[in-house]
């Protein structure tokens, strides 16, 4: 009887490992398709310049592929979740196996378990944002499409209006140098240099800030073939931290009715980073903490603070 139970448990665990393996493969596939969507959006599709319909069709195809991969992964993930708790508890016996070859199996399994948890969490976020994108795209019903066309879209702002707003920013923030790029024709990318301290890439949709990356002055935002690279992060820990804070700042300053004011507030906040390497922490008074300067700036007064001094 005990043997039968043991055999059943073993079968369950083998099945779980098999499912985990498949889930990892499916996640890799999903990651590749999602990367393709962003690559296409970032770099533009070949032979689609000026042809909006072809561009939308290609985008629709890649989004459908993301949706299919995600549904497959979700289906598999829900099956794994059901058995997870008991299976992980039982697999702890693997740790007591005296065979040296089997020693790392339990640790690897734990790692996979943690990874799977993260995958489920990320995939649910991806699912909700994917649904939002689909409902905004050509998949929506015609009634919805008509309604969307009639509604006042804050993103549909003429480029001339955006350009004049940016030139007003240039005069308002003389310490900053703001260059404008439009790699896909309509979306605006701003490359902002803050004195000799940092460079920030800000992607706008209309006048809403969608994406921000901060790098060192010595780092480039262009790939070797001259295309804008909006995804790669800085190789310095300091600027990776500043990027994280900048992403929080765009959410903090986000304003649906007055996007101009949101950009102004964000730039004012970003401008305070000109003292990134010269101002001490406003809380502990020191310049460095674990070898890193105060990378955080308070959203109201723009006071510099270390990562740990914020708490
Ligand atoms: Zn401090």
Could you give the count of Cα atoms lying within 13 Å of 115 in the half-sphere of its Cβ?
A: 13
Residues 6+ apart with CB under 8 A from 213: 200, 201, 221, 230, 231, 232, 233, 234, 243
Q: How far is the CA of 20 from the centre of ligand 1 (A)?
A: 43
pLDDT of residue 31: 92
Q: How far is the CA of 117 from the centre of ligand 1 (A)?
A: 34
pTM: predicted TM-score of the whole model, two decimal places: 0.52
Residue 270 burial (C-beta neighbours within 10 Å; 0-12, 13-18, 19+): buried
pLDDT of residue 10: 74
pLDDT of residue 92: 58
Q: How far is the CA of 288 from the centre of ligand 1 (A)?
A: 8
Q: How far is the CA of 267 from the centre of ligand 1 (A)?
A: 24
Q: How far is the CA of 307 from the centre of ligand 1 (A)?
A: 7
- Name beta bridge partners: 303: none
Q: How far is the CA of 280 from the centre of ligand 1 (A)?
A: 8
Listed in sequence order, the DSSP H helices in the chain are: 2-43, 52-91, 103-136, 142-150, 159-172, 237-253, 259-271
Q: How far is the CA of 209 from the centre of ligand 1 (A)?
A: 29
* H or E stretch covering 177: strand 176-181
Q: How far is the CA of 234 from the centre of ligand 1 (A)?
A: 23
Domain range list for the chain? 2-85, 159-276
Tens of each residue's pLDDT in the chain, 311 residues: 556 666 777 777 778 888 888 888 999 999 999 988 888 877 777 666 667 788 788 888 889 999 999 998 888 888 775 544 455 556 656 666 666 666 677 777 778 888 888 888 888 888 777 777 666 655 444 445 444 444 445 567 788 888 889 899 888 888 889 999 988 777 889 999 998 899 999 998 888 888 899 999 999 888 888 888 888 889 999 999 999 999 999 888 888 778 888 999 999 999 999 999 999 999 999 999 888 999 999 888 999 999 889 87
213 within 8 A of 200, measured Cβ to Cβ: yes
DSSP 100: G
Number of residues that make up the chain: 311
First CA to last CA distance, the chain: 56
Q: How far is the CA of 285 from the centre of ligand 1 (A)?
A: 6
Residue 12 burial (C-beta neighbours within 10 Å; 0-12, 13-18, 19+): middle
What CA–CA distance (Å, rounded) separates 67 from 130?
8
pLDDT of residue 151: 44
Q: How far is the CA of 232 from the centre of ligand 1 (A)?
A: 29
Q: How far is the CA of 297 from the centre of ligand 1 (A)?
A: 12
């Amino acid at each position: 009887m005990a043997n039968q139970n043991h055999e059943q448990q073993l079968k369950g665990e083998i099945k779980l490992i098999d499912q985990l393996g498949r889930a990892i493969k499916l996640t890799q596939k999903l990651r590749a398709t999602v990367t393709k969507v962003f690559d296409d959006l970032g770099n533009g599709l070949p032979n689609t310049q000026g042809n909006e319909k072809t561009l939308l069709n290609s985008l629709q195809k890649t989004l459908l592929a993301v949706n299919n991969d995600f549904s497959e992964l979700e289906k598999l993930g829900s099956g794994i979740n059901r058995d997870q708790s008991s299976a992980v508890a039982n697999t702890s016996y693997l740790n007591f196996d005296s065979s040296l070859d089997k020693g790392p199996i339990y640790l690897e399994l734990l790692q996979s378990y943690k990874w799977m948890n993260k995958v489920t969490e990320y995939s649910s976020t991806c699912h909700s944002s994917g649904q939002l994108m689909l409902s905004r795209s050509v998949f929506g019903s015609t009634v919805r499409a008509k309604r969307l066309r009639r509604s006042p879209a804050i993103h549909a702002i003429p480029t001339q209006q955006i350009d004049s707003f940016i030139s007003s920013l240039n005069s308002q923030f003389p310490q900053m140098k703001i260059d404008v790029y439009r790699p896909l024709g309509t979306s605006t990318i701003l490359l902002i240099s803050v004195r000799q301290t940092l460079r920030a890439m800000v992607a706008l949709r209309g006048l809403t800030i969608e994406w921000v990356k901060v790098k060192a002055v010595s780092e480039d935002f262009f790939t070797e073939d001259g295309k804008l690279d909006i995804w790669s992060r800085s190789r310095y820990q300091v600027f990776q931290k500043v990027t994280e804070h900048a992403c929080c700042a765009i959410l903090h300053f986000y304003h649906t009715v007055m996007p101009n004011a949101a950009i102004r507030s964000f730039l004012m906040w970003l401008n305070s980073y000109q003292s990134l390497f010269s101002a001490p922490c406003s809380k502990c008074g020191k310049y460095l903490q674990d070898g890193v300067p105060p990378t955080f700036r308070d959203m109201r007064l723009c006071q510099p603070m270390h990562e740990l001094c914020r708490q």
